[in-house]
Amino acid sequence: MIYHIKVPATSANIGPGFDSIGIAWNLYLHIHVKAEPQKDDINIVNKNKINNDLFIKAFYETINYINKKPSNYTIELWSEIPIGKGLGSSASAIVGGIYTAEIITNTYLTLYDKLNIALKFENHLDNISAAINGGINICLKNEKEIYITKLPINYDFWGLLYIPDYYLSTQEARNILPQNYKREDVVFNLQKFGMLISGLLQKDENLVKMGLDDKIHQPYRFKLIKEYPLLSKEVEKYGKKIVLSGAGPSLLILLFNEQEALEILKKLENNLKEAIKGEFKLLKIEHNGITIEKFN
């Protein structure tokens, strides 16, 4: 028996939605699971450089939680998601590890069980929720509650990403944030986040654009991304705004028309190729979260 599991890349935050929202993209971690009755162990093979470590930890944590000896399998992993670039490579590995353990032990865990296991490895549900559900998700985690909910959005839109040629650790990008905020900054973000969600639900590009500003994390984090000033100035010429993808360093432009997205991609590549390193990548929303195909 063979399973092919795909977990999408994700962008968290999207401007004002710090630690609260995630979008899934059509870029994937692939997990190929093959039953090997003649072997006597589980063999995990890393086909390219991915967050193998996190996958293995989440996988065995789930196996221990299930407390059932699995049969023997070869598990091959390969990923299209760049590591340390703010595209949810860790979340994809954690989610992939948990679901793979569930499949090979033939066990059903509740979503709540899975979220609790995932939270042992990554304290932010924004990427995790989008990797599980696909589309756009809002997440909630406080002392009393854990919840994720997917927005009812069925149209396509695109994410034009600038992916720098260096890494940024989420921890570093969190350490520079203040412990406290002024009330007017919090209100600013609440209002912007409301506009963003309303705009996304109505497919109203102007409302989305109005809702992309943030005073909670981006003003601090943009300072870590040296290409930001140049890129944001260029993108302003096309009437667009840039947000961080997760904690960065990747930068994201949301676009609602494929033709326009392709044109802006071409302009950015032509106009900035001498000035900045790294790559531009055009991704499309992935409406499905983790998918599992079974072959006999």
Which stretches of the chain bind ligand HSE, using CB under 6 A?
Answer: 12-13, 18-19, 124, 126-127, 170, 174, 217, 246-247
CA distance to 31, 48, 159, 265, per residue, from 6 (Å):
6, 15, 19, 26
Q: How far is the CB of 82 from ligand HSE (least distance, A)?
A: 14
CA 104 remoteness from chain centre: 25
Closer residue to ligand HSE in complex, CB, 6/221 = 221
Omega of the bond prior to 249 within 30 degrees of 0, cis? Answer: yes
Q: How far is the CB of 61 from ligand HSE (least distance, A)?
A: 19
CB of 210 to ligand HSE, least distance (A): 21
User: Which residues, 6+ apart, have CB-to-CB distance to 238 below 8 Å?
Assistant: 264, 267
Shortest distance (Å) from residue 155 CB to ligand HSE: 25
Within 10 A of 4 (CB to CB), how many other CB atoms are there? 15
What single letter denotes the amino acid at residue 10? T
How many CA atoms lie within 13 Å of 118's alpha carbon, on the beta-carbon side?
A: 31
- Whole-number Å distance between alpha carbons of 236 and 218: 17
Half-sphere exposure of 107 (CA within 13 A, CB side): 22
Output the smallest distance, CB 293 to ligand HSE, in A.
28
By C-beta, is 104 or 290 nearer to ligand HSE? 290
- Exposed, middle or buried: residue 244 (CB in 10 Å: 0-12, 13-18, 19+)? buried
| CA 55-108-145 angle, 5° bins | 75
Least distance to ligand HSE, CB of residue 84, Å: 11
Q: How far is the CB of 110 from ligand HSE (least distance, A)?
A: 23
**CB-nearer residue toward ligand HSE: 18 or 73:** 18
Tell me the closest approach of the beta carbon of residue 126 to ligand HSE, in angstroms: 5
3-state secondary structure of 162: strand
| CB-nearer residue toward ligand HSE: 126 or 234 | 126
Which residue, 34 or 174, has its beta carbon nearer to ligand HSE? 174
Q: 97 CB contacts (<8 Å, ≥6 apart)?
A: 54, 55, 56, 57, 58, 59, 61, 62
For residue 237, the tally of other CB atoms under 10 A from its CB is 10
Tally the residues of the chain.
296
- Would you say 12 or 44 has its CB closer to ligand HSE? 12
* Burial (Cβ within 10 Å: 0-12, 13-18, ≥19) of residue 246: buried
- Gap between the Cα atoms of 246 and 180, Å rounded: 20
Closer Cβ to ligand HSE, 151 or 262, answer by number:
151
Taking the least distance from each CB to ligand HSE, the nearer of 80 and 126 is 126
